[in-house]
Structure 1
Amino acid sequence: MDNKLKEHALNELHNIQVTLSLFAELASLPNSNDVPIGLSDIATVLADNAHRMKQNLSNLD
């Protein structure tokens, strides 16, 4: 895989991971009654998946 392409993909995955982590944290706040139940859990799972994808991509040569 081209190093420039790999670096771009890593940056994109990092952005996704950070966004979803923040979303999960905001959704779990006590005053977020308008957020459907389970949305925080879904965001957490997606953030974890993005993190694993980033790790796997980092391990590629």
Structure 2
Amino acid sequence: MARAIKNLIVSFFTVFFTKWLEDFLIFAGLSTVVINTYLLTTIDINILIGNYLVGAILILAGIAIARK
């Protein structure tokens, strides 16, 4: 049973890092940007700019990985 669970976890992470990583990064970046857009009036401007920067970096990293 332990070997089956180990194989399941290893195969999941192998598939995740080879096929889904760029999709995950792009989705996380877009989610960050959308959430920050709704929080424009409740967060300080420097935190907001940092969150938009993190979203842009995630999107660009996902696009860079997807192009390879």
> Which band: TM-score by shorter chain?
0.5 to 0.7
Cα distance, 1:36 vs. partner?
2.9
What is the CA–CA distance in structure 1 between the aligned matches of 2:49 and 2:27, rounded to whole Å?
19
Q: Which runs of 5+ in 1 are unaligned?
A: none
Say which structure, 1 or 2, has more relative contact order (CA 8 Å, 6+ apart): 1
Query: Which structure has the highest helix share of the two?
Result: 2
Match of 1:56 in 2: 64
Kindly report the root-mean-square deviation, in angstroms, between the aligned alpha carbons of the 2 structures.
2.1
Tell me which amino acid in the other structure corresponds to 2:67: N
Match of 1:10 in 2: 22
Identity %: 4
Give the structure-2-normalised TM-score.
Answer: 0.61
The one of 28, 48, 52 aligned to 1:44: 52
Q: Secondary structure at the match of 2:33?
A: helix
1:1-59 C-alpha deviation (Å, 9 max, x unpaired): x776332101210221122111220221xxx3x42332211111001101110111012
Bigger radius of gyration among the two = 2
List, as ranges, runs of 4+ consecutive aligned residues in structure 1 with deviation greater than 2 Å: 2-7, 34-37
